[in-house]
Homo-oligomer: A and B are copies of this chain.
Amino acid sequence: MEASLADLKQRLGEIDDLQRTQLLLAWDTEVWMPPSGESSRAAHLATLETIVHERQIDDRIGELIDDVEPYTATLPADADDACLVRAARRLWEKKRRIPTDLAAETAGAKVESYQAWVKAREEENFAGFRPSLERMLELQRRLIECFAPYDDPYDVVLDNYEEGTKTEDVRMVFAALQPEITALVAEHASEGDEDGFLRGPFAIATQEALSRELIERFGATWDAFRLDLTVHPFAAPVGLNDIRLTTRYGEDDLNSLFTAMHECGHGIYEWGSAPSLERTPLQGGAASSALHESQSRLWENVVGRSLPFWRWFYPRVQAAFPALADVSLERFHRAVNRPHRSFVRVDADETSYGLHVILRFELEQELLSGKLAVRDLPDAWNARFTELIGLEVPNDTVGVLQDTHWASGLFGYFPTYLLGSVLSVQIWEGAREVLPDVEEQIERGEFAELHGWLRENLYALGSKFTPAETIERVVGGPIDPQPYLRYLRDKLSAVAAGS
């Protein structure tokens, strides 16, 4: 039995090595690869995907799991080895349903599709991306069919990011959120140009220095972190102590500060995983994209848009950008919280952001079920966008082409952003109960206790438990949209009262 457990861990460790190698290649593809490297990179990724998949579905993994389950069943349910073998069993049974050639074809298609998306986006031309998106959807549908029968095709893709969560559950949470968010946006959205000072110009080198300062203050260290530039920011945990954050800068906004806090949240979640979980499927927060997003949102929004935070950081930002010298703290704080109708999800305010997610959640269900054809997608996007956000989309680059997700094969991922926002407030309220002076600490630019509490109570768990189990452990109950709605209402009322 001991030999079997060691053999199983060795095999899972090698799979983890290959997956983190894939992450490095994906990071390099978006950060440094010269454009003509595309075709060889597609081959490299396809070969790695083939090997990962062959190894994941190896009969021997199943035999080893059979060997060790009688032993791990005797362990406490939260013992690392018990959690590992449960996760290994689930992954093995899930992956065995996907043929290796389909997995490899999907990996190769993602690289080409990403490049087609970049080009189409530059050219404001959805037609150039359409064949790639059709191919990605065709591959997704073939992947979904591997899991027939299912209640809803979307359940299959959602399970990749949120184990055990059903589409119907998400619909219910979003049904509670959408009318309330719509009402908050209608009540509070900026109609004029009161916040025009947020359009800069803000020198990019200064934005970068401030971004790095925030990442350091939140507790990340550069011996284990990097920050680079990409079209679409992300965090890639290449190793437990090798975390690659990416961002982007625009001279005419300060979004980069929020992006830095957001990606840092993802990064420190991965970095905080217990070392005992390294090189296992339990390392990091892969089991739940919503919990992952709860941490990017907690640091970006719940902390990073709070009045205590800006009491500490605004004087630094004012000193860095003299154009803000005459803008009061209250006015700045209101501006970075006030809803405003906008086209691009990642530039959206915290409140209307949810509506951008709901749009994508609806459309990708229709794309996957075949109810909506790719050729009709831009029209469907634009029509539903106008209903939800109240603006007419001027071109596809700020419309249907704005996100990399579908180009990269990420279907079923979008709802986790909004679920993450909901969870971020539940988790924050849990932390505040234990750390009653956390807001005073933030006002002093001190984040160590908050980071420490989150690390101990959430990050260290990695993916030992299912998302629902982890949520139960951290917040003492299931996901609940009400604290998030209360938080938005309270903040927007306070901001409005100050104006």
Residues of A at under 8 Å CB distance from B? Answer: 13-14, 17-18, 20-21, 24-25, 28, 32-37, 39-41, 43-44, 46-48, 50-51, 222-226, 228, 238-243, 278-279
> Within 8 Å CB of A222, what residues of B?
34
Bound complex: CA A242 to CA B35 (Å): 8
Instruction: Given A43-B13, A279-B43, check contact A224 B21 (CB 8 Å).
Output: no
Q: How far is the CB of A203 from chain B (nearest CB, A)?
A: 19
Asked whether B223 lies within 8 Å of A41 as measured between CB atoms, the reply is no
The 20 sampled A-B contact pairs (Cβ below 8 Å) are A14-B47, A17-B43, A17-B48, A18-B48, A21-B21, A21-B47, A24-B24, A24-B25, A32-B32, A33-B242, A34-B222, A34-B226, A34-B241, A34-B243, A36-B223, A36-B224, A36-B242, A40-B240, A40-B241, A41-B242
> Within 8 Å CB of A18, what residues of B?
44, 47-48, 51
Closest to A51 in B: B51
Top-3 shortest CB links A-B = A40-B239, A37-B242, A36-B241
Bound complex: CA A278 to CA B39 (Å): 11
13 additional A-B residue pairs with CB within 8 Å, beyond A18-B47, A40-B239: A13-B47, A14-B50, A14-B51, A20-B44, A24-B24, A32-B228, A34-B222, A34-B224, A34-B226, A37-B239, A37-B242, A40-B278, A40-B279
Asked whether A39 lies within 8 Å of B226 as measured between CB atoms, the reply is no
> Within 8 Å CB of A20, what residues of B?
40, 44
> Within 8 Å CB of A32, what residues of B?
32, 226, 228
> Within 8 Å CB of A36, what residues of B?
223-224, 241-242
Closest to A221 in B: B36
> Within 8 Å CB of A34, what residues of B?
222-226, 241-243
Bound complex: CA A100 to CA B181 (Å): 59
> Within 8 Å CB of A24, what residues of B?
24-25, 28, 44
Q: Which of A24, A242, A278, A279 has the most CB of B within 10 A?
A: A242
Closest to A271 in B: B36
Bound complex: CA A175 to CA B33 (Å): 44
> Within 8 Å CB of A240, what residues of B?
40
> Within 8 Å CB of A35, what residues of B?
223
Closest to A32 in B: B226
Q: How far is the CB of A152 from chain B (nearest CB, A)?
A: 37
Bound complex: CA A36 to CA B28 (Å): 19
Asked whether B242 lies within 8 Å of A47 as measured between CB atoms, the reply is no
Closest to A18 in B: B47
Bound complex: CA A46 to CA B16 (Å): 12
> Within 8 Å CB of A50, what residues of B?
14
Closest to A226 in B: B34
Bound complex: CA A116 to CA B156 (Å): 47
> Within 8 Å CB of A279, what residues of B?
40, 43
Bound complex: CA A223 to CA B35 (Å): 5
Asked whether B223 lies within 8 Å of A39 as measured between CB atoms, the reply is no
Closest to A40 in B: B239
Closest to A22 in B: B21
Asked whether A239 lies within 8 Å of B51 as measured between CB atoms, the reply is no
Q: How far is the CB of A253 from chain B (nearest CB, A)?
A: 27
Asked whether B39 lies within 8 Å of A239 as measured between CB atoms, the reply is yes
Q: Which of A43, A44, A222 has the most CB of B within 10 A?
A: A44
Bound complex: CA A242 to CA B28 (Å): 12
Closest to A19 in B: B44
Bound complex: CA A279 to CA B242 (Å): 30
Q: How far is the CB of A243 from chain B (nearest CB, A)?
A: 8
> Within 8 Å CB of A46, what residues of B?
17
Bound complex: CA A40 to CA B236 (Å): 14
Asked whether A17 lies within 8 Å of B44 as measured between CB atoms, the reply is yes
> Within 8 Å CB of A224, what residues of B?
34, 36-37
> Within 8 Å CB of A25, what residues of B?
21, 24
> Within 8 Å CB of A13, what residues of B?
43, 47
> Within 8 Å CB of A238, what residues of B?
33, 37, 40
> Within 8 Å CB of A33, what residues of B?
238, 242
Asked whether B37 lies within 8 Å of A21 as measured between CB atoms, the reply is no
Q: How far is the CB of A224 from chain B (nearest CB, A)?
A: 4
Bound complex: CA A48 to CA B279 (Å): 14
